A and B are shown apart, each in its own frame.
Chain A
Amino acid sequence: MPAQILESSLAPAHAVLDQVCAAGEPWMGRVAKGQVFRITDLEGNQAVDTLFYNAADIGERYSLTHTIQAQGGLYLGVGTQIMSSEARPMLTIVADTCGRHDTLGGACACESNTVRYALEKRYMHSCRDNFLTALASDAASATPTGLTKRDIVSNINFFMNVPVTPAGKLTFEDGISAPGKYVEMRAEMDVIVLVSNCPQLNNPCNGYNPTPVRFLVWDAH
């Protein structure tokens, strides 16, 4: 499926949620069925590691293999149905000014950084530390979801470019995103959103300069 650019007609002034997530921070939220969720790459080339869970059953969650199977291809873009582990659509990408998003690269972790870069890189901040920070905070909240490390499965990387060649080579390339590019998706069920605004400094996934992103939610219209 060729990369497709499709702009949204939704105005930020009408959003019911409008939050900026600083570079390297976690974010957790909920999007109800019918609501539209937008992530904006404010300064460009920022990987946004994202997981979705069915708010009514955390055992049902984003599944990269179901998503790839459903569309017969690797990259996410306009029209992609973001599928659950129960083979049901969780969200549908309805607008996108970036053109291609990744779901093979997963999230960085202290432990995988030791393998990929150096054992000495263990103490750099990572996406899994963000996810676990969010889940610890969630567990201490008045309405804990019950999510734990076990539930941190392979995620979507919005705005990240991980091409696979016909020979099977996989590389992290410079992003194709730019300041202000956004991706927008309509929830097909009530979902919990778990995000790490990626702090990785060892590869080009954030252009070696992690930056803030903006989350917007609109009610169904």
Chain B
Amino acid sequence: MQTSFDTLTPLARAAVPVSSAAFAPELVLWEDTLPGGAHWSGRINRGTTLRFTDVEGAANLSALFYNVEQTTERYNMPDTLKAQHTAFLTKGHALYSDMGRVLCSIPEDSCGWHDSVCGLLDAARSQAKYGSGRYQELRNAMHRNARDGLLIELGKWGLDKRDLVANVNFFSKAVADDEGALHFDTAHRKPGQYVDLRFEMNTLVVLSAAQHPLDPNPLYDPKPVKITAWRSGIAGADDVCRRLCAENDRGFINTARWFL
């Protein structure tokens, strides 16, 4: 018999709640707003959810995730996509590490599509697209690019470019045609759209709110992202992400074993 949630021992099943909490204002732990182009990193523990909100309707949030207890374990784009037979992320999906565990999952999402394959811009390509934007002239309105933003944050944790892997771009949508050519969907983003990332592991979260690499806007005009951290608990036995597919049922079992 193959292992599934229903075959677990009573003690292993008892470590899983019936459900995680639904969002409520009294569950909020803290809030912050990442200005457009800014970068951020922090430790988010198992059982906490980050709600990202596209305040103005044209934000992009590039993100990477690491097991904070063992940072060679990190978000793995191919493992995430092939386990769930999808090229994008939305409600019900889990974000897998390379070790077969769920770093975080998406129990709620008003956007419907988050890009997983397009990557980000570095300093040279950002400057080629948007021109120069130095601190000397612009002070804190200076241009920031996603790669340097992520590298700055990784550096704070003793990590470097060797730890930089394919990132998620929350809020952004790029569709592949039959030949594989990618087309950015500007109509996809709307003010107030949000996505919940519920953390199933103690995770180093690294973020940049710089523009998406395929964003056709020729101007440097990155938009802010509101972060709301709230206490949700982990995915329950009835959870939409756990129940999405047999693959996720097994991924959540692997994840629980890290903590049992």
Instruction: Given A2-B179, A59-B160, decide whether A116 and B98 contact each other with a Cβ distance below 8 A.
Output: no
Check B251 for interface membership: any CB of A closer than 8 A: yes
Q: Which of A115, A116, A164 counts the most chain B CB atoms within 10 A?
A: A115
A221 is an interface residue with CB less than 8 A from chain B: no
Given contacts A59-B162, A170-B82, contact A68 B182 (CB under 8 A): yes
Q: Is the CB of B166 within 8 A of A154?
A: yes
B165 at the interface (CB under 8 A from A): yes
Q: Which of B163, B167, B179, B180 contacts A150 (CB 8 A)?
A: B163
Q: Which residues of A contact B81 (CB under 8 A)?
A: 104, 170
Interface assignment of B61: CB less than 8 Å from any CB of chain A: no
Across-interface contacts of A105 in B (CB, < 8 A) = 78, 82
Of B10-18, B46-54, B84-92, B200-208, the one with at least 4 CB within 8 A of chain A: B84-92
Instruction: Say yes or no: is B33 at the interface (Cβ < 8 Å to chain A).
Output: no
Chain A hits for B175, CB < 8 A: 166, 168
A73 and B98 within 8 A (CB): no
CB proximity of A70 to chain B, nearest CB, Å: 10
Docked complex Cα distance between A153 and B79 (Å): 12
Q: A87-B122, A114-B100, A115-B254 are in contact. Are A168 and B86 (CB under 8 A)?
A: yes
Contacting residues, chain A, for B124 (C-beta < 8 A):
87
Instruction: Return chain B residues, CB-CB under 8 Å to A172.
Output: 82
Is A114 within 8 A of B180, CB to CB? no
Note all chain B residues with C-beta closer than 8 A to A185: none
A153: B residues at CB distance < 8 A: 165-166
Is the C-beta of A65 less than 8 angstroms from some C-beta in chain B?
yes
Known: A120-B3, A166-B176. A106 touches B118 (CB 8 A): no
Question: Which B residues form the contact surface with A (CB < 8 A)?
Answer: 2-3, 72, 76-79, 81-83, 85-88, 96, 98-101, 113, 117-120, 122, 124-125, 160-167, 175-182, 213-214, 247-248, 250-251, 253-254
23 contacts between A and B (CB under 8 A): A63-B119, A63-B166, A65-B166, A68-B119, A68-B182, A69-B213, A72-B181, A73-B180, A87-B122, A87-B125, A104-B81, A104-B117, A106-B76, A112-B76, A115-B100, A119-B3, A120-B3, A154-B165, A162-B82, A168-B113, A169-B85, A169-B87, A170-B85
